[in-house]
Structure 1
């Protein structure tokens, strides 16, 4: 009976060591969306806090957008954010932080055509 127990322990030890030699297969989160480039961000409309249409709370930092602060408006849904907050978010995600509407390339280029600057 002792011999069977020793063989069993050896098999368990061997099995655990052989699994650790191979890298464990951890689930990997694939990034399906890529954020906007710096040139695309520059094409999005800029405004000030006093000209925002849909509220003055930045959903990224949860702070009020003061009337004199620069803001960015997401084309399509017209949600507004602090300029720096929006650029940080949109450089990593190509969707609106509030409604999750995906920014389409034609929206980016259409908004830059509207802005003659």
Structure 2
């Protein structure tokens, strides 16, 4: 979450050791093109780009790259698989092993 001023600039992770200021031009989710506002859940990727959590989680289900810089996102930075996705993978693995 962050705090946002009238001019669009904001502070990410306010009050934590990861607090940082971002400019008004960076205070827009490039996926949905909406400005960030107070009390929204945001996610910062390892490349330091920030997006609405809901937007980037959907993006990362399909793409393993940052929407802005195309840096590879892997491991714990990507959205965790749901139990049904894990089941699908197990079924695929079982089918492959029977061939």
TM-score scaled to structure 1, two decimals?
0.45
Residue 103 of structure 1: CA displacement?
1.2
Structure 2 residue aligned with 1:71 = 42
Bigger strand share: 2
How far off its partner does 1:53 sit? 4.8
Task: List structure 1 segments (4+ residues) > 6 angstroms apart after TM superposition.
Answer: none
SS in structure 2 at match of 1:81: strand
Number of residue pairs aligned between Structure 1 and Structure 2: 60
Where does structure 1 lack aligned partners over 5 or more consecutive residues? 1-47, 110-117
Computing the radius of gyration from Cα coordinates, the structure with the larger value is 1
RMSD, matched Cα: 2.1
Q: List alignment gaps of at least 5 residues for structure 2.
A: 4-11, 13-19, 79-99
Q: Which has the higher contact order (CA 8 A, sep 6+)?
A: 1
The structure in which a higher percent of residues are helix is 1
- What secondary structure does 1:72 align onto? strand
Q: Which residue is 1:89 aligned to?
A: 59
Q: TM-score, normalised by structure 2?
A: 0.53
* Residue 88 of structure 1: how far off its partner (Å): 0.5
Task: Determine if the alignment matches structure 1 residue 49 to structure 2 residue 19.
Answer: no
Query: Is the Cα contact below 8 Å between 1:53 and 1:78 reproduced in 2?
Result: no
Q: What are the Cα deviations for residues 34-73 of structure 1, in whole angstroms up to 9, with x where unaligned?
A: xxxxxxxxxxxxxx13316552100100110112211011
